[in-house]
Amino acid sequence: MLIWFVVLYLVVSIGIGLYAATRVHSAKDFAVAGRHLPLPVVTATVFATWFGAEAVFGVSATFVKEGLRGVVADPFGSSLCLIIAGFFFSTQLYKFNILTLGDYYRLRYNRTVEVLTTLCIVASYLGWVSAQIKALGLVFSVVTDGAVSQTAGMILGAAIVLTYTTLGGMLSVAILDFVQMGVIMGGMLYIGHLVSGMTGGVAPVIDHASAAGKLDFFPPPDPWQWLTFIGAWVTMMLGSIPQQDVFQRITSAKSARIAVWGSILGGSIYFCFTFVPMFIAYSATLIDPGLFKGLLETDSQLVLPTLVLQHTPVFAQAIFFGAVLAAIMSCSSATLLAPSVAFSENIVRGFFPGMADRQFMWVMRASIVVFACIVLSFALWSNASIFKMVENAYKVTLAGAFVPLFFGAFWKRATTQGSLAAIVGGLTSWLLIEVLVSGAGGTGTVANGDYAYALVGIGQAVPPQLIGLGVSMLGMIAGSLLPQWVGRPIPQEDLHAALHHRAAAETHHAEHLHKHPPR
């Protein structure tokens, strides 16, 4: 019964996605759903941005092992990211009527900055989407009691998500997010209700977690522990702002006002609701301490599904795994779409500026297929946990893409030369220290001399991505204030007017090419 319910749910989801695909008539429909989504749909799709594999399996398992301090990145950093991004995108970028973040980098700076930042954004999705595919494999394996291996489950899950995402784009994603949000919330709350009945209510679970120190949020007064704590928080909160999927979901709204409120509501609901799977997973340690202690030592990601399979009726199992599949599919579809759209718009299209709208849609679809294959390969190869795959995904955008985006919007003196210095300096310093620390194997010693030894010591005390962020800021400021050798600064007296003029000119040129394609 459980297997057939899952199959039925997948068939219905694919059907909804394929129906939405019949309403996609242009690249704008495919990339940002035509920018006509109402507030309820925007709220649902922003909520689904983060509520995926890491929220259900990764965050809950990490909380059981490390407590609130271990989940500072998600949900604390990620929910704040959605709210900050909503204000930023709606007030600074929505009016430019652009498809991708890379378009803004091109308008504000130049083509080189567009390409470099787009590559950073695309690379950051490798770990994130792989985490979703890995979770789909885990679900299929658990539901079939091992009849479908995790490897086969990953392949099957990737194929299902690829089908409706390739055909329907953002419109399919948005409609499915709206439907699946109801399934997610209803299913998780129902399981939470059942589990609370087994533990004697919510209060005993909270009291037990508090006594075990799991509700301690802030680290002890140790500056190095605080740096690690802040590094995890900032990486998710700021590093995930220059992300194409967040941008697409927010700017798909039919007005800037809806974009703001959709992001605030979606981020707030996400923050509150993530505590439901945390509560369910921690309840397992009270319901069957012996069994779940062993799982914590082997694979803590199995705590939640094992609890549901062994301690709830079949109907509850069907509800739970339906909700889990809804969460993972809604999250993975958009995160598969986003890097593919960014790569097509900001890398491929630059080499073929005369491409017609219909040809561009097929380029985006081909990019989705290629990226899905790469992601699947990475998911099959990587041994990292779901939570760690997500947490590590945004180091590259924090070091390489965040500073040019925010300084470009709020500092009129930011220049192309400054942005290039920020990108190169941030990425180089982050990668250098990350590689040296990894090479040291955590021992703090390397065989490359005193300079490398000092870098390793710094990298072990301060998160490398924070060092990259700091160097990126210095590069932006110094590169913008020094004599300009690269690019021409946009006139400071009317920066937004100049950007509007550029955006309008590009839009007019694109419309002209669509009506009169080159022979």
Q: How far apart (Å, rounded) are the C-alpha atoms in residues 134 and 151?
A: 8
Q: 3-state secondary structure string, 308-343?
A: HHHHCCHHHHHHHHHHHHHHHHHHHHHHHHHHHHHH
Portion of the chain with pLDDT greater than 70, in percent: 86
Q: How far apart (Å, rounded) are the C-alpha atoms in residues 191 and 197?
A: 10
**pLDDT confidence bin for 267, thresholds 50/70/90:** very high
pLDDT of residue 362: 87
- Burial letters for 190-220: b for 16+ Cβ neighbours within 10 Å, e otherwise? bbbebbbeebeeeeebeeebeeeebeeeebe
Q: Give the list of residues 6+ apart from residue 153 with CB closer than 8 angstroms, or none.
A: 136, 137, 138, 139, 140, 141
DSSP string, 59-76: HHHHHHHH-GGGGIIIII
pLDDT at 419 over 90: yes
Element (H, E) at 391: helix 386-393
Say which DSSP state 394 is in: T
For residues 164 and 14, is the Cβ–Cβ distance under 8 A?
yes
For residues 250 and 262, is the Cβ–Cβ distance under 8 A?
yes
Closest-CA residue to 248 (of 355, 153, 364, 141): 364
Q: Give the list of residues 6+ apart from residue 237 with CB closer than 8 angstroms, or none.
A: 76, 77, 78, 80, 81, 84
Say which DSSP state 34 is in: G
pLDDT at 180 over 80: no
Q: Please state the length of the chain.
A: 519
Closest-CA residue to 23 (of 159, 158, 161, 173): 173
pLDDT at 486 over 80: no
Q: End-to-end alpha-carbon separation of the chain, Å?
A: 58
pLDDT of residue 445: 43
pLDDT at 15 over 60: yes
pLDDT of residue 426: 96
Q: How far apart (Å, rounded) are the C-alpha atoms in residues 168 and 505?
A: 29
Q: How far apart (Å, rounded) are the C-alpha atoms in residues 442 and 517?
A: 58
pLDDT at 501 over 80: no
DSSP string, 162-207: HHHHHHHHHHHHHHHHHHHHHHHHHHHHHHHHHHHHHHTSHHHHHH
Digit-coded pLDDT (tens) for 193-214: 999 999 999 999 999 999 999 9
Copy the structure tokens of residue 177: 């997010």
Q: Which of 322-326, 335-339, 367-371, 424-428 has the lowest mean pLDDT?
A: 322-326
pLDDT of residue 444: 42
pLDDT at 494 over 80: no
Using DSSP's 3-state secondary structure scheme, residue 482 falls into coil
Task: Please provide the average confidence, as pLDDT, over all residues in the chain.
Answer: 82
- pTM score of the predicted model: 0.80
Say which DSSP state 443 is in: S
Digit-coded pLDDT (tens) for 131-173: 888 888 888 888 887 888 889 989 988 888 888 788 777 777 7
CA-to-CA separations, 120 to 43, 234, 246, 425, 465, in angstroms, rounded: 27, 17, 15, 14, 14
pLDDT of residue 425: 96
**pLDDT confidence bin for 423, thresholds 50/70/90:** very high
Q: How far apart (Å, rounded) are the C-alpha atoms in residues 106 and 85?
A: 19
Copy the structure tokens of residue 435: 């590689």
Specify the long-range contacts of residues 182-189, CB closer than 8 Å, at least 24 apart.
183/322, 183/323, 183/326, 184/51, 184/323, 184/326, 184/327, 184/330, 185/273, 186/319, 186/323, 187/319, 187/320, 187/322, 187/323, 187/324, 187/326, 188/273, 188/276, 188/277, 188/280, 188/320, 188/323, 189/276
Digit-coded pLDDT (tens) for 285-319: 888 887 777 777 777 777 888 888 888 888 888 88
Of residues 236 and 24, the one with the higher pLDDT is 236
